[in-house]
Homo-oligomer: A and B are copies of this chain.
Amino acid sequence: MNKVRLIVASLLALCAPAMAQDEPPTPDSVVAEAAPGEWVPIAPEDILVMELAPAADGSAREVVIQLLPPPFSQPWVKNIKTMARAHWWDGKSVYRVVDNWVAQWGGGDPELEMDPGPLPEGVVSPAEPYESTMICQDAGLDVTYCDPDFASPASPDPYVSTGMGAAGHVEGWPVAFQFAPEAETNLIWPVHCYGSVGVARDLAPDTGTGSELYAVIGHAPRQLDRNIAVVGRVIDGIEYLSTLPRGTAEAGVYAERSEDTPIVSVRLASEMTTPPAYEYLDTNSDSFARYVEVRANRHDSFYEIPAGGVDICNVQVPIRPAQ
């Protein structure tokens, strides 16, 4: 059964277990000591592998994206899987890169001489909201912290400051909550952090299909939360997007199509013959709780003043190649 781990719960001054060595724990040392059973494999059907054209020196550029699990953004995730199976992105490009903002790729804009062609059958802009309803004690998500007492988190989030809200992790993902007055049904939504992948769209009420996606390559643009469908995160190869030249035309689109970075292919790992495999540190595990605590309170030799808190996007969920 899944449990929600709120940051606030991890920031209580819990006594960490005694360390074998003298040096206080670091986030890295906590992760290194996590038990094998605390790591969760990522399903191959939730991994998207985007192969960009080789770099100028001929080296490969593979960007690996993990898609969000239920209940988050599933209509868009379904579209994206349909498009990947149809090889829809093959031959398209990364055509927009804005410093401290996003790198964007996909179908492109006919006005940019990028006719994307027809979408695969069944791919339409969903009418669903960007938030999910979280029913306390529901079988799907057993929420440990549905209690309204969580209205005063020790580690507050300025983006959920109206009413009772909090930020935390569920199923390995950073999320924000808004608690309903009766604590019966609550809202939960995935948040935008560095590396988050979202669905580009036109003005509301358009919600986008997923044919054009972006990855965040700067400070967390949390104002986009609940306004755009977050569908995943880059778990490997973000540097192949974050180091691309910044676009100089309107909104950071490249002025010439020749500046675009071509996409060779986008595939679901479940359809590849030799897929990459990854695992993440269970966000309900004891090691993850310690990891959050240590990220908020650094006592190793480099630090003199522990921060005493940490924002949700500064708690990167540990992800590694499957062991």
Contacts and interface: CB of A to CB of B under 8 A. Distances in A.
Contacts of A301: 203-204
A218 B246 contact: no
Interface in A289-319: 295-296, 298, 301-305, 307-311, 313-314
Contacts of A218: 194, 218-219
Given A194-B218, A314-B221, A307 B244 contact: no
A193 interface: yes
Interface string A159-194: 111100000000000000000000000000000011
A227 B99 contact: no
A159 B223 contact: no
A195 B100 contact: yes
Contact of A227 (B162, B239, B304): B304
Contacts of A80: none
B246 A246 contact: no
A219 B222 contact: no
Contact of A219 (B56, B157, B194, B203): B194
Chain A contact residues, majority secondary structure: loop
Interface string A186-227: 000000011100000001110000000000001111110111
A53 interface: no
User: What bracket does the count of chain A residues touching chain B fall in?
Assistant: 35 or more
Contact of A307 (B7, B194, B223): B223
A243 B221 CA distance: 19
A309 B159 contact: yes
Given A100-B194, A218-B218, A244-B243, A223 B161 contact: no
Contacts of A100: 194-195, 238, 242
A158 interface: yes
A314 to B, nearest CB: 6
Q: Which 7 A-B pairs have the closest CB atoms?
A: A158-B309, A156-B156, A194-B219, A161-B309, A226-B305, A155-B158, A162-B308
Given A222-B311, A222-B314, A226-B305, 15 more contacts: A99-B238, A100-B238, A157-B309, A159-B311, A160-B309, A162-B309, A203-B301, A203-B302, A204-B304, A223-B310, A225-B307, A226-B304, A227-B302, A239-B245, A243-B243
10 contacts: A100-B242, A159-B309, A159-B310, A219-B220, A222-B307, A222-B311, A227-B302, A227-B304, A239-B246, A243-B245
